[in-house]
Amino acid sequence: MDYNLVKINVEDQEGNQQEVEVPTDISMSLMEILKGMDYHILATCGGIALCATCHVQVKSGYESLPEATDDEWAMLDTLPKLTQTSRLSCQIKVNALQEGMSFKLLGETQL
Ligand code: FES
C-alpha cells in the first residue's frame, strides 16, 4: 500500500482524545473521514456547509488550512459555540491536513 498518511489528534464531544491516521491522497473531507471512523458527526446536510453539525475547533494548525469560503463563514457565524479557530470539517479537504494538527469536535450530536 502506498498511502500518504498524516497523524492528527482528534478530541470528541466527550473530551476523549485520540491520535488518528488520515490518508491525504484521496478526495475526501475531514468530516467524511471522521464519520467513517465512527465519530459522532451528524452531517445532516451531507457536506455542503449548511448544517454545521460537523463544526470543529482547530486546536493546532489553523493557520496552515486554506481560508474558509464565504458560505462556510456564513454558517460558522450562526453558531453559539463559535471559537476563534472554528471550521466546518466538511469544508476541510484531507489533502490540506498536516502531521500533528489537532481538532476538537463541537458539532451537535442530536438535533
Ligand atoms: S456536514 Fe453539514 S455543514 Fe458540514
Give me the mean pLDDT over the 74-89 stretch: 97
The Å distance, Cα 88 to ligand 1 centre, comes to: 6
Residue 110: predicted pLDDT: 83
Residue 44: predicted pLDDT: 97
pLDDT in tens, 36-65: 999 999 999 999 999 999 999 999 999 999
The Å distance, Cα 109 to ligand 1 centre, comes to: 12
Q: How far is CA 12 from CA 1, 19, 56, 68, 73, in A?
A: 29, 11, 10, 22, 22
| Contact between residue 64 and residue 34 where contact means Cβ atoms under 8 Å apart | no
| CB 52 near ligand 1, within 6 Å | yes
Determine the atom of ligand 1 nearest the C-alpha atom of 43.
1
The Å distance, Cα 111 to ligand 1 centre, comes to: 13
Give me the mean pLDDT over the 31-39 stretch: 97
CATH code of the region 5-105: 3.10.20.30
Determine the atom of ligand 1 nearest the C-alpha atom of 50.
3
Strand partners, 10: 18, 103
Instruction: List the chain domain ranges.
Output: 5-105
